[in-house]
Amino acid sequence: MMGAKKALFLSAAVFAGALSFMMAGCVEKTSGAGTYKITVNRDPAAGGSVTLDPAQPEGGYASGTEVTVTAAPNAGYLFDGWVEDSEKGEQFTVKMTRNLTLTAKFKQAFALNVTILPSPAAGQVTKSPNKTGYEAGDVVTLKPVPDTAKFAKGYWNGDPDDTRDSITVTVTKDTAVSYTFTPKYALETAAFPKAGGTLRRDKFASGYVAGTVVTVTATTDTNYVFTGWTWSGANLSDVDTSGLVATVTIGADSALSLTANFRQEKTILGGDIVDSRDQGRSYGTVIIGGYRWTAANLNYETPEGEGDSWCYDNADSNCVKYGRLYDWDAAVAACPSGWSLPDSAAWEHLVRTAGGNYYVMDALQSNGGWGAAGRAGGHDDYGFTALPGGKRSAEGSFDQIKFEAYWWSATEVGSGNARNRYIIYNNEDDSMGNAKTIASKADGYSVRCIQDVTVAP
């Protein structure tokens, strides 16, 4: 009997020990020791992918490892939650303390594609809500937003009558929508010269849709008269002029440039300037088309090292009457402080202000002093008082005094040449001519100066 009891006691002790060992093993495993795996499923498999970061080792993750789980739908699908936890989003982090099974659900998505015409640069169409894909039954509001500098609102789906400010689309399948923006065309207006007057439009905008009618009214400033309208970029039928008013119908082919032209009516004196470098020599000035010009040819002898200048035939009396003749290097350095040698554009502006090539000789020439007898000349409408000071060749010969006047411009042509402007008198038929040409910088021509700070043309 005692033996049986002893055996029973030993069996119980062995069972208790075994049970204690098993329980100790379970506690150790759930407290952090061991490795765990994540099993990933996709429903449907074609709907997308699931990634783990860090990637799952072959033997699983060590206990306590934090893993970021990300579901990414494929094209044509939307993420629809996790089977195991519907509250989690497309990405979450889990701490590994046990084996996990994760199933990402995906559902079919539909595209809503909007084509913008004539090009994406015309503007954009906003979507509300704005998603990469839509579920069946989603209601989306579409609203056009044009690039207002160049386009206006237009119409939907190729229908010029459908000009709604916005539309709603209920998505049930892949859907395509188009929106055509209406191009705007620029209307550029200008007064020439700028000092001649001002312009006002009855409707001002950076651009206009084809068919818009714009009325432009010119107002003449003091000392100027209106001479007419000129334009480019439009058919004659697009512009109707009546005196100071131009009515423009915006075309659908190109930008339109409209210019109101004015002519200076009389001499505008600009006051005298004193050249402190030259023993206080003074020059009268005149304002022509908003620029301030010296009213006589310059007679300043440039210092050594700043080019060369001469009196015609080396006679001081010719310098007194006509000013000096300068090579180009001397010409660009000759004007007093605050003044400069006019470039070719400034000379063109002067000619245009004086009425163009046909009228410029009469408008700018002195009253007399031209021709062999010195009786020819112009009306000197603006006090420019152009005198025929002649020229000097690069070889040193003087020519054409009383018959021709040449002036340098600051505009270079290559390294050895520059542009000039001239007026000539033909003694044989008592005719005049003017032109611009290119000359060697070594030639000797007269110089007029223009003020650096001017009213822009």
Mark which of 107, 126, 160 sits at the end of a domain: 107
Q: Same domain, yes or no, for 347 and 402?
A: yes
For helices 344-353 and 357-364, the axis angle rounded to 10 degrees is: 90
pLDDT over 70 (residue 194): yes
Query: Of 107, 112, 165, 166, nearest to 138 (Cα)?
Result: 112
- What are residue 213's DSSP bridge partners? 249
Q: Same domain, yes or no, for 175 and 43?
A: no
Q: What is the mean pLDDT of residues 6-18?
A: 40
Residue-level length of the chain: 457
pLDDT over 70 (residue 218): yes
In whole angstroms, give the CA distance from residue 272 to residue 266.
Answer: 18
- What are residue 286's DSSP bridge partners? 269, 293
Domain count, the chain: 4
Three-state SS at 330: helix
**In the predicted model, what is the mean pLDDT of the chain?**
88
274 inside domain: yes
In whole angstroms, give the CA distance from residue 340 to residue 447.
Answer: 10
Amino acid at 93: T
Q: Which residue has the tokens 């020059």?
A: 283
- In this predicted structure, what is the pLDDT of residue 120? 85
User: CB–CB of 352/344 below 8 Å?
Assistant: no
pLDDT over 80 (residue 345): yes
The alpha carbons of the chain give a radius of gyration, in whole angstroms, of 45
Q: Same domain, yes or no, for 407 and 290?
A: yes
Mark which of 151, 169, 184 sits at the end of a domain: 184
- In this predicted structure, what is the pLDDT of residue 30? 39
- In this predicted structure, what is the pLDDT of residue 11? 43
Buried-exposed string 260-273: b where 16+ CB fall within 10 A, e elsewhere: bbbbbeebbebeeb
Environment class of 408 (CB within 10 Å of its CB; exposed 0-12, middle 13-18, buried 19+): buried
- Chain centroid to Cα 23, Å, comes to 80
Q: Same domain, yes or no, for 368 and 410?
A: yes
State percent of the chain over pLDDT 70: 88
Q: Same domain, yes or no, for 258 and 136?
A: no
Query: What is the SS3 string spanning 56-69?
Result: CCCCCEECCCEEEE
Q: Same domain, yes or no, for 98 and 230?
A: no
Omega before 54 within 30 of 0, i.e. cis? yes
Q: Same domain, yes or no, for 67 and 192?
A: no
Query: Of 315, 312, 327, nearest to 404 (Cα)?
Result: 312
Mark which of 90, 107, 124 sits at the end of a domain: 107
25 inside domain: no
For 355, residues 6+ apart whose C-beta sits below 8 A from its C-beta are 263, 363
Q: What is the mean pLDDT of residues 168-176?
A: 96
7 inside domain: no
- What are residue 105's DSSP bridge partners? 43
Query: Of 355, 345, 368, 358, nearest to 421 (Cα)?
Result: 345
Q: Same domain, yes or no, for 356 and 373?
A: yes
- In this predicted structure, what is the pLDDT of residue 427? 60
Q: Same domain, yes or no, for 429 and 334?
A: yes
Q: What is the pLDDT of residues 113-134, one digit of tens each?
A: 999 999 888 999 999 999 988 9
383 inside domain: yes
Q: Domain containing 77 — which CATH number?
A: 2.60.40
Q: Same domain, yes or no, for 221 and 310?
A: no
- In this predicted structure, what is the pLDDT of residue 168? 97
Q: Same domain, yes or no, for 322 and 366?
A: yes
Q: What is the pLDDT of residues 278-335, one digit of tens each?
A: 999 999 999 999 899 999 999 999 998 999 999 999 999 999 999 999 999 999 999 9
Instruction: Write down the pTM of the prediction.
Output: 0.64
Domain that holds residue 274: 269-451
Q: Same domain, yes or no, for 294 and 391?
A: yes
In whole angstroms, give the CA distance from residue 38 to residue 41.
Answer: 10
296 inside domain: yes
- In this predicted structure, what is the pLDDT of residue 123? 96
User: CB–CB of 193/167 below 8 Å?
Assistant: no
Q: What is the mean pLDDT of residues 383-405?
A: 96
pLDDT over 90 (residue 454): no
Structure tokens given for 317: 């009396």
- In this predicted structure, what is the pLDDT of residue 407? 97
Q: Are strands 398-399 and 197-201 parallel, antiparallel or unpaired?
A: unpaired
In whole angstroms, give the CA distance from residue 114 to residue 117.
Answer: 10
373 inside domain: yes
173 inside domain: yes
316 inside domain: yes
Q: What is the pLDDT of residues 300-312, one digit of tens each?
A: 999 989 999 999 9
